């Protein structure tokens, strides 16, 4: 049930990437990590669209809509492909850490944006 739920959510999110001009960095468990503005300026509509898409997916245990937390922060990052065995595009810096803190301290079903954003 968990894998079906995550697949349903992530498939919806994946379908929105090009529309909003954001890059999917990675997924770790239930964390879906995207970055915008790396190459081109983008609109902040992806966060609101993700909340809306999540509400279309029902929790298998309760039948209620999924509520996600979204953290947003704006700032500089260092990015690049690292590793040789499984090379991956990674983002580093305080901007990434702050966005993560915004998510972890946010409320379910809401976008928690930093003052910089």
Predicted TM-score of the model (pTM) = 0.81
Number of separate domains in the chain = 1
Give the domain extent around 77. Answer: 2-113
pLDDT score of 46: 82
Residue in the block written with tokens 């894998």: 3
pLDDT score of 55: 86
Taking CA atoms, 11 is separated from 4, 14, 16, 39, 107, in Å, by: 10, 5, 9, 23, 23
Q: How confident is the prediction for the chain on average, in pLDDT? A: 88
Q: How many CA atoms lie within 13 A of 28 on its CB side?
A: 4
**What DSSP state is assigned to residue 19?**
H
Phi-psi region of 11 (alpha: psi -120 to 50; beta: other; left: phi over 0): alpha
pLDDT score of 48: 85
Taking CA atoms, 70 is separated from 2, 83, 87, in Å, by: 20, 28, 27
Dmax (CA) for the chain in angstroms is: 43
Q: What is the CATH number of the domain that holds 99?
A: 3.30.70.1230
For residue 101, the SS3 value is helix
pLDDT score of 90: 92
pLDDT in tens, 58-86: 888 888 888 889 999 999 999 999 999 99
């Amino acid at each position: 049930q968990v894998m079906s739920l995550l697949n349903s959510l992530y498939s919806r999110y994946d379908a929105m990437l090009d529309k909003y001009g954001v890059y999917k960095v990675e997924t770790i468990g239930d964390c879906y990590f995207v970055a915008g503005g790396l190459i081109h300026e983008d609109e902040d509509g992806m966060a609101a669209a993700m909340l809306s898409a999540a509400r279309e997916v029902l929790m298998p245990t309760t039948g209620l809509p999924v509520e996600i937390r979204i953290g947003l922060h704006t700032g500089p990052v260092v990015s690049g492909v690292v590793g040789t065995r499984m090379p991956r595009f990674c983002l580093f810096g305080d901007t990434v850490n702050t966005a993560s803190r915004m998510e972890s301290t946010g409320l379910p079903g809401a976008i928690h944006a930093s003052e910089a954003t």
